[in-house]
Structure 1
Amino acid sequence: MEQVSAALKARVWEQQRGIPTYGTGKPDPNPMFLEKRIYQGSSGKVYPYPVIDRIEDESKLQVYRIIIIENE
């Protein structure tokens, strides 16, 4: 799907591209909650969301759908 504008000479297209990506680790079943911390108004309470504070050590090729906009 490519569209070309003669007046602006811009191109827009969509494609799939593989990008090395580090995945997220597993949720911590027993996270440490910091009740009295002050950081952008957070309280340290994350329930019902899981706490994931690790990323994988090795990247894997992940395919993403990307939109490219290009002009002169």
Structure 2
Amino acid sequence: MPPPVERPAPPPAAAPVAPPPAAPPPAPPPAAPQLPQQPPVTMYLHFPFVTVPIPITPPPPPAPPAP
């Protein structure tokens, strides 16, 4: 009867796979769209010996709708 064949040891068990990291929380929605800031506008009145600067203020932004 032939001698028993020694089998190699089974490979070590693989390390458990960690679950994928949780997705980051969704970003909060923007509160309100920001309107671009308008640069100040100046109009100049040219007279014969003097130039008069007149600042022009843009109209105020519209009020948000009431609920």
Q: TM-score surpassing 0.5?
A: no
**Bigger Rg over Cα:** 2
> TM-score band (shorter)?
under 0.3
What TM-score does the superposition give when structure 1 sets the normalisation length? 0.19
What TM-score does the superposition give when structure 2 sets the normalisation length? 0.20
Higher relative contact order (CA 8 A, sep 6+): 1
Task: Name the one with the larger strand percent.
Answer: 1
